[in-house]
Amino acid sequence: MPDIPGSILGKVFVDPVTKQTYGVIRRSSSTHFSNLDDIRFPILAEDGCGNYFTVTEDGAVRFWDHETDDLVRLANSVSDFATQCVDPPPVELDPNQVKSVWIDPAFAKSLGMKVPGDGWVKKPPKRK
């Protein structure tokens, strides 16, 4: 398995041309993956959604999408890949978009927050 630069953990890869974002990057518990053609590649990292960052025979870093089986070339090398990794942008929600939220009651208590005993603030509607 290739060495993963610690500096990219928790970051996202931003394609310099398309500006598409891949990640958040984390260590993988797997060491190799096989695509449908049974070609094995060592895994550099994963994104936590079932997709892998792999290193192919030529040293290039590619992103394997588990839903489409696409293998997209991201960078010519691990070091080139690392230079395009940045902190993920913050998630910003308009409070009017939030319909309900569940907060672990013990966690809320540790922060001095008061939430209902079941943790739901603005309970979601019941499904029929």
- Beta partners for 101? 121
Q: Please say whether the beta carbons of 45 and 52 come within 8 A.
A: yes
Average pLDDT over residues 23-35: 76
Which sequence spans correspond to the domains of the chain?
A: 6-86, 96-128
pLDDT tens sequence across 102-121: 889 999 999 998 888 888 88
Could you tell me the two tokens for 97?
Answer: 């978009």
AA letter at 96: N
pLDDT above 70 (res 1): no
Q: How wide is the angle at C-alpha 46 spanned by C-alphas 44 and 47, nearest 5°?
A: 145
> Which helix (H) or strand (E) is 55 found in, with range?
strand 52-55
Name which of 62, 86, 83, 59 is nearest 74 in CA terms.
Answer: 62
Where does the pLDDT of residue 61 fall: very low under 50, low under 70, confident under 90, or very high at 90 and above?
very high
Residue 39: predicted pLDDT: 56
- Beta partners for 85? 13
* pTM, rounded to two decimals: 0.66
Mean pLDDT of the chain: 84
Cis, peptide link before residue 121, omega less than 30° from 0: no
